[in-house]
Structure 1
Amino acid sequence: MTDTPSDTARDYRDTVFLPKTDFPMKAGLAAKEPAILERWATLGLYDRLREQRAGRERFILHDGPPYANGDIHMGHAMNKVLKDIIVRSQTLLGKDAPYVPGWDCHGLPIEWKVEEAYRAKKLDKDQVPVAQFRAECRAYAEKWVAVQRAQFERLGVMGDWEDPYLTMKFDAEAAIVGELLKFAESGQLYRGAKPVMWSPVEKTALAEAEVEYEDVVSTQIDVAFEIVEAPGAPELVGAHAVIWTTTPWTIPVNQALSYGPEIDYVLVDVMVADRFVPIGEEVAAWKSGGKFLIAAALVSAFAQRTAKNFGGTTDLQTVWMGKGSQLAGTVARHPMHALGGFFAKPRPLLPGDFVTTEAGTGLVHMAPDHGEDDFLLCKAHGIDPVFAVDGAGMYRPDWLWLGGQGSVINKKFVASDGPICSDLRAAGALLAASDDFAHSYPHSWRSKAKVIFRATPQWFIPMDQPQQAESAHSPIEIGAEIGFAPVLGHAKGNGPTLRNIALDSIERTRWVPARSQNRIRAMVEQRPDWVISRQRAWGVPIALYVDRKTGQYLNDPAVNARIVDAFKAGGADAWFDADHQALLGEKYVAADYEVITDILDVWFDSGSTHAFVIEARYGEGTRANLYLEGSDQHRGWFQSSLLESAGTRGRAPYDAVLTHGFALDGQGRKMSKSLGNVVDPLKIIQESGADILRMWVAQTDYFEDVRIGKEVLGTTSDAYRKLRNTFRYLLGALDGFSDAETLEVGKMPELELYVLHLLGKLDVELKAATANFEFNRYLRLLTDFAAEDLSAFFFDIRKDSLYCDASGDVKRRAYRTVLDILFHALVRYAAPILTFTAEEVWQARYPSEDGSVHFLEWPVLPALPGDDALSTKWADLRALRVQVTEAIEPLRRDKQVRSSLEAEVTVPKSAMSLEALAEAFIVAKVTEADTVSVKPTDFHKCGRCWRHLPEVTEDGTLCARCAEVVPA
């Protein structure tokens, strides 16, 4: 009905049914959504749902706790919206799907922010009493929990906001320490000193998940160690073994060298002509050349690096060749041996299977304080760390070389003209040095400063200690494998290790997408023992007592129970001002025990949440159906939760894990303030509304990294408007509809049956998408159905019947009945994603102070006969309809017709009647021929329905149908 009646024709508009609704085309979401949120709060929506679904099948999505330390960003918004869509979709399926939001409140992220405030005031945090500092951290976390809670609620996230979980609540802190003590009681805990990632700026050990890698340019040096003994190759005595490193600061802590037993090594003689001798400190040592031991495969690279020191020559003559195995028993001396003491000790050459010829010299210098391979190899040969570098990255004051100097991450300190290289040069040991080696290096993701590997006394959970065969929870033998003190021993086990249990649990878990399983498996296969201690102040302490004489930690269940009770009553603060004699009881003397005050790794906190959220609320042994976080959590929360549960329960805490990508800007770049490309979710909500942001989340392929920007959001807004207009049409077309008008399915025309068939197919596909958490597919199916099957097809064809047929006409009743079915289905399908709009749509038709679309369950569609022939028939018609529309378009452009109603078409013979085809194509007449053709019709136009029909004698008079409907 695109034409308009002439000025002289009678106006029949009052006889035509036109859709009527107050539902506005303009959404105005930013203004409406807060009022809808207030209504839900008044209604008690979340609690009412829990009451309604009590006893139903439960679906638990366990919320990974964000840090309470700032406004939410796009990653938060994407994560929370995706969780909410899943929770709401499971609720729609009729399940009891509680959602308990939570926050990580301990650890360095919050402590660092509080320290920043001290630094801004030029105050030293270390001078503040621990109790005061912890109180400030708690207050800071409380502030941001409140802020983020309001922001998450504004996104439309439904959950138990009145009782969220916080890792700093007393019951949570008690549960966390209780989980730690389970590890202690089963022997899965040891105190040792081995290299861990350490931040000299933050002065604490870091977990792998707290580290990010950045490209840097470092100083690379070649250093000569004079060989003093070589029983397997006497020719080497007096020559120099050469090492290459990009961490010059580790040379003052060197204790050995390592070779590859199967690598081919050569002794090269550097031939130096006097005329090429350079001017500088190197002249005295190397004016006559020298003999150097390196891997045969790396001679050329070595020659290029050292050419400057050797007068420009790269003429290296091989004077000896042999396998690395011939270096067994070889001993060198440190370049700074003249200092005596530590530096005068022999430096043995040790076989290492980690030595390669990919770079350097094929010989690796060993500093057991500062490398995992170094530590293990040296430990196997009785060489222990010396702890020369302190927590701030300075050499300890009594160290013979560079004592009290540093920091070792200071670029100037380790540069080719810095004190380390200068001293090595003066000692005649520096063969090459340049500040140009580009590589990736670990940094703290908070301070952005470089980290180092540093051996310090820490507490560890072992990955490879066998447990007792009869039970995964039986004590395991830890032994004093590493470090300062032996720990309480147990009978040697022969069961699975924590790594074994974790890997087995990975296989038993559903990973979405499936490829993410490979990632976490590789990480667990390769990860070292879990270092769980931090040298900080804010968090749950490692509440253990260590015997001062034996070094064993006290393992007494009665003492542990008193510790847990103390935490329940006073939180983690209770440990710092505790009456330790009272906790120890009469059996022990407090003076005999060291009170451990190290703080638990915050990943242990969050890894324990399943214990005090899932099991505490839903029963012991209950597992979450789903964990959902970003892909970085394979080395973070997914893994710490897995290890904690595997170590205490012998299984994973989840049935399935979903991983999403990161939110990037519109050009695919990582968002950063420095680039000025941060897209603020709060601004999007303020300008466009939360439903636009929610629709964007569902629209993306969130298993990969996704883009968001003005153009992307514009596309989302267009899609939203089309879906909103579909709902607006349904509301208008159903004005006045009642149950009395409903028509039985068996009496419906083919078109209505076909559309119901399409709806049934959509229903099946949406359920499958829900089961696979594929909400981008879910939304695409929904929007395509609304736009293509409904607006462009079904609504288009049936608008004539809706507007002009008699109210009791079977076709019109059938159409409105199907519209009613569509309304009830589509508003439910949309509700998990467009949570505000679906509520607005529902209330527009069923206004109620006590009702909500979110109380509804998945639609139950009418049963249909399985007639594939009907589906094929109408699919063929739709394909032909496209051809007809394309054929009419040239006539429309040439203004031969103004609308399809003025066209007559010919089409190939069809299974449909010609009258049905004319109705479907919305044309005046259809005839049959071999090809599709179009011409303007000669029929006159009905003054009411505007169809061109043979019975209309002149324009403006009525066709037979309209004459029957219009009162005389």
Structure 2
Amino acid sequence: MTDTSTTLDYSKTLYLPQTDFPMRAGLPAKEPEFVARWQEMNLYKKLREDARERPLYVLHDGPPYANGNIHIGHALNKILKDVITRSFQMRGYNSNYVPGWDCHGLPIEWKIEEQYRAKGKDKDDVPINEFRKECREFATNWIKIQSGEFKRLGIEGDFENPYTTMAFHAESRIAGELLKFAMSGQLYRGSKPVMWSVVERTALAEAEVEYQDVESDTIWVKFPVVKGPSDLSSAQVVIWTTTPWTIPGNRAVSYSPRVAYGLYEVESVENDFGPRPGEKLIFADALAEESAIKAKLTFKRIRTVSADELAAIALAHPFEGFGGGYEFVVPMLDGDHVTDDAGTGFVHTAPGHGREDFEAWMNAARDLEARGISPAIPFAVDDAGYYTKDAPGFGPDREGGAARVIDDNGKKGDANKAVIDELIARNALFARGRLKHSYPHSWRSKKPVIFRNTPQWFVYMDKDLGDQTTLRSRALAAIDETRFVPAGGQNRLRAMIEDRPDWVLSRQRAWGVPICVFADENGNILKDDAVNGRILEAFEREGADAWFAEGARERFLGEKANEPWTQVRDILDVWFDSGSTHVFTLEDRPDLKWPADVYLEGSDQHRGWFHSSLLESCGTRGRAPYNTLVTHGFTMDEEGRKMSKSLGNTVTPQDVIKDSGADILRLWVMTTDYWEDQRLGKNIIQTNIDAYRKLRNTIRWMLGTLAHDEGDEIAYADMPELEKLMLHRLAELDELVRSGYDTFEFKRITRALIDFMNVELSAFYFDIRKDALYCDAPSSIKRKAALQVVRHLFDRIVTWLAPMLPFTTEEAWLDLHKSAVSVHLEQFRDTPKEWKNDELAAKWRKVRDVRRVVTGALELERAKKTIGSSLEAAPVVFITDPELLGAVKDLDMAEICITSAITIKGEAAPAEAFVADDVKGVAILSERASGTKCARSWRYTHDVGLDSVYPDVSARDAAALHELAKLGKLAV
């Protein structure tokens, strides 16, 4: 035979990886092509058709607000939702995702008003339905923009048929839910202090408020005793408050029987105003000295004042005789909210300006009436923050006009100064100061709010609903039945429900679903099914604009139009809108189901959407509209600071996508502890780019290797142990991946898969098997088994990653499976039971321990330049541990350690042998390989030259070449 070794390029005889799958991803350019492809092929429809017979799994989308480009919080939220729906879709469910939008409310209304102001236009001159039409158009435009941005993130959902709270059907259903509360007696008109935004001219719910640190005026005020024991008749009770402007609304002073009080007499003073020597004052003993220091005086304690004595005394208002409206008795009330932690141990009680004040006053109302004290609550401040006639001397009768608490820009008005000046003038001020504390602000305008007594529409929290339950008890019971991820969310939501006041539903705005009821002058609601039917039918056809159309009252009331019913013009709290989304999506759409399997939102939604959905559903259906609540934290910058434009530390999803691609952003989400606040910045993005590059290159190598796969199937029993080990690891990972998706622990999955691909595949299995895969003959069982395992690895890893990295996995899947439609139409592969082999895995942990010592010794030899490649080595391995020796006994350790030869000895090593601290009983003597280097595989063997046709290769490689030649696959 002819010697062909001199004419043959051996590199062309190897099964080297071949793939068009690029090493450089080019995601910013490539991803939009897949978005267009999925849209053109209508992937969403194909997913639904493919899963038609499967059980539904429904994640109900909490609606973002339609008023601007998406930010990083939106991206985090939508990516998490997309991963959940995709992962269940690929595990035997019909996991339908319907995106939604919150469209009503103040932010949009403000935007339109801003446009009006820019044009010199007055909102009050515009017909309300014309204004509402502009609000609707504004929201529609932003829904279109946000839809495109969400799809660019790789979000798959029914974007052609989303839900919106402003759709006519949605408005009709929201109104219908309100009418259920009205007809069941849960809705009522009441006068209570609510958080009020002067800037926005509307009531706010707790969910619409955030707290910021502010510095406020603080005052200590003296209330003269006008009735009580003789030695107290000339005394004064001292209160402390951080809201001086509420003093005109004072109607009582609260104390606590749990606090020790004393009568004190002033001895000396330093101030020109305030208490004088000889004055007698009552304080909580624990706070007396601190209060004296504030007032720059000294006093002595005269005696204890008991709770019974406090209950018996009556006070005069400090403004008695001023303005002609404060000549009433100020009673002392036993208040559960009173402590001696701060202030004076007495709480100034203005029932029109605080929840606890209101409750203390109302709890005492019956007793007050019996004592001849009117329980009426003043309306001391109007919607613009000005004092009214119920604050004599400070309201419209004041010289120069009414004082103001807060102005239109959210700045402090002159009310505090006016009150403090008058207290000084009347010798009613004990002391004054400044205090930095947390104060409620509107989360939209970022301006401070006030508590003011206004007529509003409420839903009872504690009214018996006819079955010995209340809305509160139903909600608490539902919380117990709900799964929380993380578990701490349960306590958070429970605490909010336990402590919340009645639900205030009314807003004094124009854009939203109206509180579509008719009421008499006393607040009694018309309960008429025919009227309600006409309202809901009109809303279904025309939207809620029908309520504001000309002639609406007569149209809806019909024959009752001549009766004295007033059409309520307030708008529903937008949280009621979003809290009702389960009705017109989960219940009304045939492709969804009620209740939802899961709601997922930021942790702030315990007081927002989770909260309102819970109350709405419990009030009308008796249970929560969800089975599981998942919460995520918020994204900070790399230093853990809140992102803000002023700091210049914001990271936008649009910028990340433009520079790196959506899959990089998605990988960041998947590798974060998203349950907590997470961080994002350039360095963190780069870390994810590096991790992605390694992951992609592993997939690329598998694709290149599988280019030579002819689909041969080797029976499990005939596979080498190394292949069985990899299948065992796939079985373990299958359990971990499925469990991780079930428990929403995405970081656990990504960490496991990335580590597996980097450590167990690239640095171990692939490294070992490259020789057999590249060099073995076509008929080699080892090579065929390895190809089969790589096929299993690819199919499983790519489908496991598909929910997380939809673009990359689609590209890889279509590269290998040319006739496939999409990886997203695939299911996670089933795992044969025989793959799970714990005994084999235990053995190979020992094998890998030995291998680690060998590779450690080879690294030293490389560092000393004794060898270049590990194939130049033929180490001697001394093993004295019987278990380790038994594990490697029947294995080709030269192949496993990627050396040309290896000698295993079950005896003690010489002193100069290499040892590793973490593996006992193994030592290595490094020896160079003997023999001749094979020109094809580069191994050193003693059989090079035995074949006359291929004299410069080993016998194994010569046999492979002969087989390739016989098959016509060898070009000479």
Q: TM-score range by the shorter chain?
A: over 0.9
| 1:39–1:388 distance in 2 versus 1, CA, 3 Å | same
Match of 1:912 among 875, 882, 888: 888
One-letter code of the match for 2:953?
A: L
Q: What's the CA shift string for 1:108-146, capped at 9, x where partnerless?
A: 122222233334445443443312221221111111111
CA distance in 2, matches of 1:650, 1:626: 18
- 1:666 is displaced (CA, Å) by 1.0
Is 1:240 aligned to 2:213, yes or no?
no
CA distance in 2, matches of 1:412, 1:538: 26
One-letter code of the match for 1:679?
A: V
Q: Which residue of 1 aligns with 2:341?
A: 358
SS of 1:454's equivalent in the other structure is: strand
CA distance in 2, matches of 1:620, 1:534: 31
Is 1:305 aligned to 2:294, yes or no?
yes
CA distance in 2, matches of 1:412, 1:133: 28
| 1:665–1:387 distance in 2 versus 1, CA, 3 Å | same
Q: Which residue of 1 aligns with 2:284?
A: 295
Q: Which residue of 2 aligns with 1:424?
A: 423
Q: Which residue of 2 aligns with 1:563?
A: 535
Q: What's the CA shift string for 1:345-387, capped at 9, x where partnerless?
A: 1211222121111111111111111011211222232522211
Match of 2:710 among 726, 729, 738: 738
The residue correspondences of 1:776-815 to structure 2 (distance < 5 A) are 776-815=747-786
CA distance in 2, matches of 1:824, 1:609: 38
Q: Which residue of 1 aligns with 2:800?
A: 829
Contact 1:394 1:406 in 2 (8 A): yes
SS of 1:538's equivalent in the other structure is: coil
CA distance in 2, matches of 1:287, 1:529: 45
CA distance in 1, matches of 2:216, 2:249: 19
CA distance in 2, matches of 1:263, 1:10: 100
Is 1:962 aligned to 2:961, yes or no?
no
CA distance in 1, matches of 2:688, 2:46: 32
Q: Which residue of 1 aligns with 2:622?
A: 650
Contact 2:724 2:835 in 1 (8 A): no
Q: What's the CA shift string for 1:308-339, capped at 9, x where partnerless?
A: xxxxx3x2111231222211231111221112
Contact 2:404 2:415 in 1 (8 A): no
- 1:866 is displaced (CA, Å) by 4.9
One-letter code of the match for 1:921?
A: C
CA distance in 2, matches of 1:342, 1:671: 50
Contact 1:940 1:950 in 2 (8 A): yes
Is 1:460 aligned to 2:458, yes or no?
yes
SS of 1:565's equivalent in the other structure is: helix
- 1:578 is displaced (CA, Å) by 5.4
SS of 1:945's equivalent in the other structure is: coil
Q: What's the CA shift string for 1:224-254, capped at 9, x where partnerless?
A: 1111111xx3211122111110000001111
- 1:791 is displaced (CA, Å) by 1.0
SS of 1:925's equivalent in the other structure is: coil
Q: Which residue of 1 aligns with 2:481?
A: 508
Is 1:335 aligned to 2:318, yes or no?
yes
- 1:421 is displaced (CA, Å) by 1.0
Contact 1:260 1:324 in 2 (8 A): yes
CA distance in 2, matches of 1:437, 1:598: 37
One-letter code of the match for 1:426?
A: A
CA distance in 1, matches of 2:663, 2:890: 45
Is 1:726 aligned to 2:698, yes or no?
yes
CA distance in 2, matches of 1:83, 1:731: 30
One-letter code of the match for 2:731?
A: G
Is 1:199 aligned to 2:197, yes or no?
yes
CA distance in 1, matches of 2:33, 2:902: 53
One-letter code of the match for 1:110?
A: I
The residue correspondences of 1:696-775 to structure 2 (distance < 5 A) are 696-739=668-711, 741-775=712-746
Contact 1:378 1:384 in 2 (8 A): no
Contact 1:262 1:325 in 2 (8 A): no
SS of 1:742's equivalent in the other structure is: coil
Match of 1:79 among 63, 77, 80: 77
| 1:940–1:914 distance in 2 versus 1, CA, 3 Å | farther
Is 1:537 aligned to 2:510, yes or no?
yes
Which one is further off, 868-877 or 597-606?
A: 868-877
CA distance in 1, matches of 2:717, 2:700: 28
SS of 2:220's equivalent in the other structure is: strand
One-letter code of the match for 2:250?
A: N
One-letter code of the match for 1:147?
A: I
One-letter code of the match for 2:380?
A: A
CA distance in 1, matches of 2:553, 2:513: 20
Is 1:253 aligned to 2:223, yes or no?
no
| 1:352–1:951 distance in 2 versus 1, CA, 3 Å | same
Contact 2:96 2:591 in 1 (8 A): no
Task: Name structure 1 gaps, 5 residues minimum.
Answer: 1-6, 308-312, 470-494
Q: What's the CA shift string for 1:551-578, capped at 9, x where partnerless?
A: 3101112211111101001101000115
CA distance in 2, matches of 1:364, 1:956: 103
- 1:842 is displaced (CA, Å) by 1.1
Is 1:522 aligned to 2:512, yes or no?
no
CA distance in 2, matches of 1:102, 1:645: 18
Which one is further off, 40-49 or 903-912?
A: 903-912
Contact 1:46 1:159 in 2 (8 A): yes
Match of 1:885 among 855, 858, 861: 855
- 1:876 is displaced (CA, Å) by 1.2
CA distance in 1, matches of 2:562, 2:96: 45
| 1:670–1:956 distance in 2 versus 1, CA, 3 Å | farther
CA distance in 2, matches of 1:571, 1:951: 88
Give the TM-score normalised by structure 2.
0.92
CA distance in 2, matches of 1:964, 1:953: 12
Which one is further off, 537-546 or 786-795?
A: 786-795
CA distance in 2, matches of 1:417, 1:97: 57
- 1:934 is displaced (CA, Å) by 1.8
Count of aligned pairs between the two proteins: 918
| 1:767–1:246 distance in 2 versus 1, CA, 3 Å | same
CA distance in 2, matches of 1:737, 1:305: 86
Contact 1:414 1:421 in 2 (8 A): no
- 1:915 is displaced (CA, Å) by 5.9
CA distance in 1, matches of 2:558, 2:131: 33
Contact 1:914 1:927 in 2 (8 A): no
Q: Which residue of 2 aligns with 1:268?
A: 264
| 1:941–1:603 distance in 2 versus 1, CA, 3 Å | same
CA distance in 2, matches of 1:620, 1:189: 30
Contact 1:244 1:363 in 2 (8 A): yes
Is 1:323 aligned to 2:296, yes or no?
no
- 1:744 is displaced (CA, Å) by 2.3
Contact 2:245 2:415 in 1 (8 A): no
SS of 1:214's equivalent in the other structure is: strand
Q: CA RMSD in A?
A: 2.1
Which one is further off, 699-708 or 942-951?
A: 942-951
Task: Name structure 2 gaps, 5 residues minimum.
Answer: 366-373, 397-401, 880-884, 909-922, 966-972
Contact 2:15 2:708 in 1 (8 A): no
Contact 2:193 2:453 in 1 (8 A): yes
Q: Which residue of 2 aligns with 1:474?
A: none
Is 1:347 aligned to 2:327, yes or no?
no
Q: Percent of counterpart pairs with the same letter?
A: 50
CA distance in 1, matches of 2:317, 2:413: 18
One-letter code of the match for 2:658?
A: Q
CA distance in 1, matches of 2:567, 2:550: 10
| 1:110–1:590 distance in 2 versus 1, CA, 3 Å | farther
| 1:635–1:286 distance in 2 versus 1, CA, 3 Å | closer
SS of 2:325's equivalent in the other structure is: helix
Match of 2:405 among 402, 405, 408: 408
Is 1:385 aligned to 2:409, yes or no?
no
Q: Which residue of 2 aligns with 1:593?
A: 565
- 1:811 is displaced (CA, Å) by 0.6
One-letter code of the match for 1:64?
A: G
One-letter code of the match for 2:491?
A: N
Q: What's the CA shift string for 1:449-502, capped at 9, x where partnerless?
A: 111111111111111111212xxxxxxxxxxxxxxxxxxxxxxxxx11111110
Q: What's the CA shift string for 1:250-300, capped at 9, x where partnerless?
A: 01111111111232211111112xxx655x4x2xx6444411111111111
